[in-house]
Every structure is written in structure tokens, then in C-alpha cells.
Amino acid sequence: MQKVATSLVLERALAAASVRHKLLAHNVANVDTPGYKRFDIAMQSALQQDASSPLENSIYQQLNTSLRVDGNNVDIEQEMTLVAETEAYFNAVASSLIKQMATVRYLINEGRR
């Protein structure tokens, strides 16, 4: 049962990282859009919520800042740093899930012998 619970947490972490990557890509695409305010997902909140709770509940728009006169608050360097961090996080979680599935597969195959 512990493996199933861990798998669900890892799957939700992958889904949250995927959502974050899409939001960051959207921010980068709108770096020159006047008045655009960046979006992000509160990762910790998303992971602490019940598995049936939609990840969209953890998405927020950062309205209280402005980096330029036109009201846009996207800092391309920050966004690209967050993209790299999110990619590394996704890869680490995916690796953990793959290892866990390999362990389960091994236990199933050894149980047949």
C-alpha cells in the first residue's frame, strides 16, 4: 500500500511540474506583451492537496508587481531559471517513479518463481 501512495504522490508531482512548465512557457511567450502579469503554480500547495483536487486550484497570477512602465512583470532571466529548475525537478521525480516501477516489476516477477 505504501508503494501505491508513493506512486500517486510522484504522479501528482510530475503533473504539477508539467503544469508549471506550461505556465512558464506562457510567461516567456508574453515577455513583450504590455500589461501581462506572470502566472505560476504554488508547487508545495499543489502537492499537499488531496489527489482529487485539481492542480488548477494552485495556479496564481502575480498581480502586485510590475517590472516595466507598460505593466509587464515577466523577468526573462527569472523565467528561464525557473524553467531549468522545473525541468531538473521533473527529471528527478520521473527517475524516482521509474525506479519504483522497476522495483514493483521485479517483485512481481520474483513472486512467480
Decide: residue 46, CB within 10 A, 0-12 exposed, 13-18 middle, 19+ buried: buried
Is residue 111 over pLDDT 80? no
Contact present, 39 and 26 (Cβ < 8 Å):
yes
Domain-wise residue ranges, the chain: 2-111
Residue 107 pLDDT grade (very low, low, confident, very high; cuts 50, 70, 90): confident
Q: What is the pLDDT of residue 1?
A: 45
Q: What is the pLDDT of residue 4?
A: 57
Q: Give residue 81's identity as a one-letter amino acid code.
A: T
Structure confidence by residue, pLDDT tens digits, 85-98:
999 999 999 999 99
Question: What pTM value is reported for the model?
Answer: 0.85
